[in-house]
Chains A and B, each alone.
Chain A
Amino acid sequence: MSVLAYGVVAWLFLIGLYGVVTSRNLIHMVVCVSVAQSATDVLLLEIGYRTGGHAPVFVSLPAHPGPAVDALMQALALTDVVVGAAVTALLLAVAVQVHKRAGTLDPDELRATRE
């Protein structure tokens, strides 16, 4: 479980980075940022995971034998999801504006800050 999860983290982050670097379309790029972001969520969940652990719910449920997984890391992952949603929404809004103003979604054609 552990090795697989860390492998998934590395794969998601690197493939997300690769996508951002090579992207020729802003929408595609924003999705790649989200892919890289999901690597951090998987990492946090894996750090908080305990083999055989149950969900960290302690009220109004029959007592569960054994340990619970770390609720703190889940809270962190949840916060990260919120941050990611805000960034994605903002970037997509900018991409829509770019398409409106410049008529293209290719970041390579958008070199207004340089020339």
Chain B
Amino acid sequence: MTAVNLVVSTSAVIPASVAVPLGGAALMAGFSRFLPRLARDLIAIAVALATTALTLILTAASAGHPLIYWFSGWRPARGMVIGIDYAVGPLGAGMASLAGVLASAALVYCLRYFDSARGRHHALVLIFLAASVDFCLTGDLFNLFVAFELVAVTAFALTAYNAGHPAPLQGAINFAVTNSLGGMSVLMGVGFLYARTGSLNLAQIGQTLAGRHADALVVVAFALLTGGFLVKAAVVPFHFWLPDAYGSAPIPVCVLFAGVMSELGLFAVIRVWVTVFSGLDGGTGPRMRAVLLGLGILTAVIGAVMALAQVHLKRMLAFLTMSHLGIYLIGAGLLTPLGLAGASLLVIGDGLAKSALFLGVGVVQHQRASVSETRLHGAGRGLAVTGVTMALGALLLADLPPYVSSAGHGLLVDAAERAGLPWMELVVAFSVVASSGAVLRAAGRIWLGWGDGESPGPDTGTADDPGEESESEPGPASAEGAGGADSGQAERDRAGRRRRAPLVMVLPPLALLAIGLGLGLTSGIEEHATAAAAAFSDRAAYATAVLGTAPVPPAGGIAVPPSSVVSAGGVLTDLGQVLAALCVAAVALDRRSAGLRRALAAGTGWLRRLHSGLVGDQVTWLTAGLALLAALGAAALH
């Protein structure tokens, strides 16, 4: 009964899930100055929560068969697409719900994070949310590009939000230049595909290319599209902008970046691969898998090593995010439903946990005015709840059962074994252990006062930039209309330092972790994810659903392979990872292992020097990456 109601009403819910946050953003941008601060914040939170509810309805309603929505009712005629469609599947809608949850948490956090609440910030966050939802639901290639750019432009503006300091400005420049070039690359790919197939609809392009051999034009289009999306996904060698942007953006914005934005890039890579290129003739799958897995392994390992080398907490979390992106790419790059299902559960679980970590760092920054692990040595007293949040978040990122990431990890390992790549488990374990170990090391140093207070050498990481020190005390130039009441509040805030952290900043990270735990305890979550991933990976079924050439196949047609997630072996592996992460942290904090740390620092010096923060270098890497991708694409598709 409820299911029928859901299906009937989805024709209104689908456009509303984008229209609601966009309308809310317009309201914020236009009328926020007439509203008291609390009303502004609460309206923004309500809009984000409403969007979350709408996308959750879509996730539930689209399980089993995709929901197709044609704007203005321009349906395809005789298999020819003339309109623009949304093709809603549980995977995309679930991604959109994650964006909604994280945006809500970030906005709740903003109640106290900024001394003066600003309507423009909320408007940008809501546009970001609307564009993310659009990105997840659309079935049109050009619409995908527009959403890509809309996410990017709002993200540039949000990165540069604290424009009173040089660090966010440089972060925004690096981010904007590299991602704009990525956007151009995507658009050229769109143009080439249109030139070859005469359509912009993913399903129609896929149908036109199906069974054909890839010619040079298709290979170039593939390289441009995939390369552009990989810039957003921060995959090596396109990742250099990521630490600069994450390290300098305000904390609530980091939550959106780490939990949603980069994952959207990977989502687009897989979506375009499945719907457009996977039907190409000539056994392209196995070679494509090698390319994606290679990129994923590089990203996972480099991110983990770089995370260990950081003492700047936000940059550490940025590299942790990057390492996890590599793991998702490994899961999705296996190009099997099981691997994709594992990656999806990891995206949800890790997204929540990473956001909790960023929010925890934000509490420390707000209360102690620093984000340097060494400078904060022993400074965690009085912030016990946040300390527990940080440690718990790091352990959950190491796949502590029964969190939802643990289920995802089990599926991923299972998928790798079935694909004949059992050693992939070791790569994933190394990355997870090293990156979680870095966070645990920082938590041990800050809250337990273990280890040394000073940095072992000038070369071991990034120092605090001055902008971070005073981010929560905006300078006069950056405080938009900071009236007497606002500055009075800022004074009170400063006087209130060293007292308890505000509840609206302490609770959201715990709430996020609780959601992930609840999902992990939900029975049958693996089966749901596998069914969703199987539907997502089926190009022919997608094409028939969109083009309406044949009745939508029933959900029963998808075979869900039995998984060995709940086996004792999987749980033991996860516990082993958690223990290993704790050991890494202990060794890193032990004074006796200074020699080992120096050797590691010397061994990875070249890698840290590559991350120069210079936009010219980053664009050079981007260009080289595009050329590499074209060569690999030619090898894989031709």
A87 to chain B, nearest CB (A): 5
Which of chain B's residues have a CB closer than 8 A to the CB of A108?
614, 616
Residue B267 at the chain A interface, CB threshold 8 Å: no
Size category, B interface: 35 or more
Minimum CB distance partner of B159 in chain A: A94
Interface check B171, CB cutoff 8 A: yes
When distances are taken between beta carbons in the complex, the residues of chain B under 8 Å from A43 are: 188, 191
Find chain B residues with CB under 8 A from A113 CB. 167, 170-171, 174, 243-244, 247-248, 462, 465, 613
Interface assignment of B157: CB less than 8 Å from any CB of chain A: yes
Contact in complex: B166, A112 (CB < 8 Å): yes
> B192 to chain A: which residues have CB within 8 Å?
47
Alpha-carbon separation in the docked complex, A44 to B194 (Å): 10
Our pick among B164, B187, B615 for the contact of A44 (Cβ within 8 Å) is B187
Given known contacts A21-B619, A76-B142, is B153 in contact with A111 (CB within 8 Å)?
Answer: no
B163 interface residue (CB < 8 Å to A):
yes
- 8 Å CB interface, A45-79 against B: 47, 72-73, 76, 79
Report the nearest B residue to A39, measured CB to CB: B184
Interface residues of B in 371-422 (CB under 8 A from A): none
- Is B121 located at the chain interface by the 8 A CB criterion? no
Kindly identify which residue among A37, A73, A86, A94 contacts B169, using a CB–CB cutoff of 8 Å.
A94
Q: Flag if A33 contacts B200 (CB, 8 Å).
A: no
**B194→A20 contact, CB < 8 A:** no
B620 interface contact, C-beta 8 A: yes
**Bitwise interface map of A from 9 to 33 toward B, beta carbon under 8 Å scored 1, else 0:** 0000100010011110010010001
Q: How far is the CA of A111 from the CA of B167 in the complex (A)?
A: 8
Note all chain B residues with C-beta closer than 8 A to A91: 156, 173, 176-177
Give A91 to B623 CA distance when docked, in angstroms: 21
Chain B 179-203 near chain A by CB (<8 Å), digits 1 or 0: 0110110011011101100001000
Q: Is the interface of B mostly helix, strand, loop or mixed?
A: helix
| Min distance, Cβ B33 to any Cβ of chain A, angstroms | 20
Interface residues of B in 440-479 (CB under 8 A from A): 462-463, 465-467, 477
A83 at the interface (CB under 8 A from B): yes
Is the pair A20, B177 in contact by a Cβ cutoff of 8 Å?
Answer: yes
Q: Please tell me if the beta carbons of B177 and A29 are within 8 angstroms of each other in the complex.
A: yes
Tell me whether A8 is interfacial, beta carbon within 8 Å.
no
**Nearest Cβ distance between residue A62 and chain B, in whole angstroms?**
27
Those of A83-115 within 8 Å (CB) of chain B: 83, 86-87, 90-91, 94-95, 97-98, 100-102, 107-108, 110-115
B271 CB–A CB distance under 8 Å: no
Given contacts A21-B616, A76-B190, A87-B180, contact A101 B200 (CB under 8 A): no
Question: Contact: B191 with A102, CB < 8 Å?
Answer: no
Given contacts A40-B187, A43-B188, contact A101 B177 (CB under 8 A): no
Cα–Cα distance between A95 and B160 once the two chains are bound (Å): 11
Q: Are B612 and A80 in contact (CB under 8 A)?
A: no
Q: A94-B173, A113-B171 are in contact. Are A73 and B191 (CB under 8 A)?
A: yes
Complex alpha-carbon distance, A29 and B163, angstroms: 19
Q: Which residues of A contact B177 (CB under 8 A)?
A: 20, 29, 33, 91
From known contacts A72-B200, A80-B187, infer whether A20 and B170 are also in contact, taking CB-CB under 8 Å: no
The reply to whether A101 and B613 form a contact with Cβ atoms under 8 Å apart is no
How many residues of chain A are within 8 Å of chain B by beta carbon? Answer: 41
Inter-chain CB contacts under 8 Å: number: 129
Q: Which residue of A lies closest to B163 (CB)?
A: A97
A17, A98, A101, A114: the one within 8 Å of B173 (CB): A98
A111 to B177, CA, bound (A): 16
B63 interface contact, C-beta 8 A: no
The reply on B134 being an interface residue by CB < 8 A is no
Give B172's nearest chain A residue, CB to CB: A94
- The answer to whether A90 touches B188, judged by C-beta atoms less than 8 angstroms apart, is no
Specify which chain A residues have a CB less than 8 angstroms from the CB of B243 in the assembled complex.
113
B149 on interface, CB distance cutoff 8 Å: yes
Q: Cβ of B169 and Cβ of A33 under 8 Å apart? A: no
B146 at the interface (CB under 8 A from A): yes
Partner of B176, one of A36, A94, A115: A94
Assuming the contacts A17-B623, A20-B615, A33-B180, asked whether A26 and B166 have C-beta atoms less than 8 A apart, the reply is no
The reply on B165 being an interface residue by CB < 8 A is yes
Whether the pair B244, A47 counts as a contact (CB closer than 8 A) is no
Nearest chain A CB to B254 CB, angstrom units: 14
Q: Which residues of B contact A29 (CB under 8 A)?
A: 177, 615
Partner of A87, one of B176, B248, B611, B615: B176
Interface centre among A29, A112, A115 (most CB of B within 10 A): A112
Residues A112 and B616 in contact in the complex (CB < 8 Å), given A44-B187, A101-B165:
no
CB distance from A17 to the nearest CB of B (A): 6
Contact of A97 among B146, B169, B181, B619 (CB under 8 A): B169
Task: Please give, as numbers and ranges, the residues of chain B lying within 8 Å of A94 by CB-CB distance.
Answer: 160, 163, 169, 172-173, 176
Once the chains are docked, how many angstroms separate the CA of A101 from the CA of B166?
Answer: 6
A80 to B142 alpha-carbon distance, docked (Å): 10
Contact of A22 among B172, B174, B183, B616 (CB under 8 A): B616
For B191, the chain A residues whose CB sits under 8 A away are: 40, 43-44, 47, 73, 76
Residue numbers in B under 8 Å from A107 (CB-CB):
170, 173, 614-616
A21 to B624, CA, bound (A): 12
Find the residue from A33, A90, A111, A114 having the highest chain B CB count within 10 A.
Answer: A114
Is A87 in contact with B200, judged by CB distance below 8 angstroms? Answer: no
Residue of A nearest to B245 (CB): A113
Q: Which residue on A lies nearest to B156, using beta carbons?
A: A90
Q: Could you tell me if B465 and A112 are in contact, using CB atoms closer than 8 angstroms? A: yes
Could you pull out 10 A-B pairs where Cβ atoms are within 8 angstroms? A20-B616, A23-B616, A40-B188, A76-B187, A87-B153, A94-B163, A98-B173, A100-B477, A107-B170, A114-B613
